[in-house]
Structure 1
Amino acid sequence: MLDDLDRRILRYMQGDPTQSVPELADRLSMTTPRLTRRIEKLKEADVLRGQRAVIDWQALGYAVEVSLRVTLDKTQSRAFDEFIEAARDIPEVTEIQTFLGRVDVRLSVIAKDMGHYQEVYRSRILTLPHIADIESLMHVARIKSDESLPI
């Protein structure tokens, strides 16, 4: 279970993940060794799974984002596994989610422009195994995108 100090540590780390451990310790009125031990415990408990760079794909020249809702042919026992394994190999697929219900899988796909998207869709997406149905939703605007948790 997390105590109040653990939650404060996580809130500060979430708010500014670039701050150093000594800076964070100072903000929390802790010693650096004590904070380091707390962070290690959070990592060992898989609460804190690491830090990463969040890259704006639009700054790299990608202008199109499409959400694909895929229904798989579930008569094949390995349909999910084989589809997901193949979808992971497509660099333009940035996210894969599975669902219970009519839609089985959702893929987020980015492309530099519509021509690039059509090439990815025709040559890579449509060749994925076990697709029974696919629906494309063009992203117009991202209203909220926040990975911060209410801690």
Structure 2
Amino acid sequence: MPDATDRRILRQLLADPELPNAELAERAGVTPASLWRRLDRLREGGVIGGFEARIDWRKLGYEVQVSLRFTLDKTEPRAFDNFIAAARKVPEVTEIQTFLGSVDMRLSVIARDMAHWQQIYRESILTLPHVQDSDALMLVSTIKDVQELPL
């Protein structure tokens, strides 16, 4: 379990993931050697799973983002597996989530514009297997999008 020093390191890392280790150690109040050991322990313990680039899809020309919610036909034993396998093949699907409750699956889909969205919807989304019901929510704006934790 992370201690207070580990949480200080994690807060600094979340605030600025690109900090050089020497500066991260200074901000967290530890020596560079101690920082290295603690980061290693946090990685080995699975607290830190890795680092990734966050890409702004809009800057790459994708102006439309849609959240699709699906209820699947649960009379089919392989409904979830088949649906997930098919959804993974759609390049514009950026996120796949499963849920408990009235909604089984959620997909995030990006498109360049409305014409591109219609093409994706007709050619890829409507052909997903075992869909009993679906609902689409088009993103208008993002109010809060943080990866920070209350450490």
Instruction: Bin the TM-score by the shorter chain.
Output: over 0.9
Inter-partner Cα distance in structure 1 for 2:135 and 2:9: 42
CA offsets per residue over residues 23-62 of structure 1, 9 Å max, x none?
Answer: 1112233221211010000000100111111110111000
Give 2:88's aligned amino acid: R
Deviating more after overlay: 9-18 vs 24-33: 24-33
Q: Say how many residue pairs are matched.
A: 151
Give 1:77's aligned amino acid: P
Look up the match of 1:21. Answer: 21
Look up the match of 1:78. Answer: 78
TM-score by length of 2: 0.96
CA offsets per residue over residues 38-94 of structure 1, 9 Å max, x none?
Answer: 000000010011111111011100000111111111111010111012111211111
**Unpaired segments of 5 or more residues in structure 2?**
none
1:37-48 matches, within 5 Å, as 37-48=37-48
- The alpha-carbon deviation at position 128 of structure 1 amounts to 1.1
> Residue 82 of structure 1 aligns to a residue in which SS?
helix
Inter-partner Cα distance in structure 1 for 2:145 and 2:29: 31
After the TM superposition, which parts of structure 1 deviate over 4 Å for at least 4 consecutive aligned residues? none
TM-score by length of 1: 0.96
Give 2:125's aligned amino acid: I
Inter-partner Cα distance in structure 1 for 2:28 and 2:134: 50
**Unpaired segments of 5 or more residues in structure 1?**
none
Look up the match of 1:50. Answer: 50
**How large is the RMSD of aligned CA atoms in angstroms?**
1.0
Could you tell me the percent identity over the aligned residues? 58
- The alpha-carbon deviation at position 133 of structure 1 amounts to 1.3
